[in-house]
Amino acid sequence: MLGIKSTQTTRSIQGAPEGTLATGGALTRRPTVIIADDHLLMAQGLAKLVEGDLEVLAVVGNGRELLDIAVRQSSAGGPDLVLMDICMPELSGVETARKLRDIAPDCKVILISMHAQPEFIREAFRAGASGYLLKLSASSELIAAIREVMSGGVYVSSGIAKDALSSLVAPAPALSPRQQEVLRLVSEGCSAKEVAGRLQITVKTAQFHKTSIMTKLGVHSTAELTKYALGHGIASFG
């Protein structure tokens, strides 16, 4: 049993039966969850793990389906929890988490991913997630993550290296507004000529800005620039 409290109710899941009165006289119910993963076996497995303690509203294959259900549930307060893959077709888990904040602002989100890199984790929390769990984690860790997140805490998978976590709070070198514009375009795959056209500057100036940014950040490739942009909210996934 998870032993957690819903954001909508006043009792522990391990307390009185669903629909009974808890201490204080409030009508209680199990917390609700929507699960999203484009791998059906994964999604169904998650549902089996939590269905004894949470009311599974739906198991869906992408973020758009999840948001549609969340909208329909909004009159009842929306889902209490969302468990979803970070990489899904049509709408990524990160983008879905951002949009979910407007639909169900009290909903807790745990993103599940195979990626342990700091930029993925940082982007997840910027989008409003409360938990980040690796797909290689044991089922017991999923339960621990749900318990922590539903009690108002934040959870990061134990499989993520400490040096990766420390980099999440490392100070970033200051970039000028123009440098951030150039960095965003470069991370989106724009060439120097395309950057110049978008910003109405010369190709030579665009190349100068890129070189200056790389020097300031201490990176040596466009791939590293892209990782930096994703990790610091200058560019977004999908």
In terms of domains, do 48 and 157 share one? yes
Residue 94, by phi and psi: left (phi above 0), alpha (psi -120 to 50) or beta?
alpha
Residue pLDDT, tens place only, 115-160: 888 778 888 888 888 899 999 999 999 999 999 999 988 888 987 8
Radius of gyration of the chain (CA): 21
Q: How far apart are CA 38 and CA 42, in angstroms?
A: 8
Distances (CA, A) of 4 to 68, 70, 82, 218, 219: 26, 21, 15, 45, 44
In terms of domains, do 48 and 130 share one? yes
Q: How much is the pLDDT for 10?
A: 30
Q: How much is the pLDDT for 3?
A: 61
Q: How far apart are CA 73 and CA 201, in angstroms?
A: 49
Q: Which pTM was predicted?
A: 0.64
In terms of domains, do 82 and 159 share one? yes
Q: In whole numbers, what is the pLDDT of the chain averaged over residues?
A: 82
Domain containing residue 222: CATH number: 1.10.10.10
Structural domain of 200: 177-231
Q: How far apart are CA 49 and CA 140, in angstroms?
A: 10
In terms of domains, do 150 and 220 share one? no
In terms of domains, do 226 and 108 share one? no
In terms of domains, do 128 and 44 share one? yes
Residue pLDDT, tens place only, 12-31: 333 333 332 233 334 467 89
Distances (CA, A) of 235 to 51, 73, 127: 36, 31, 12
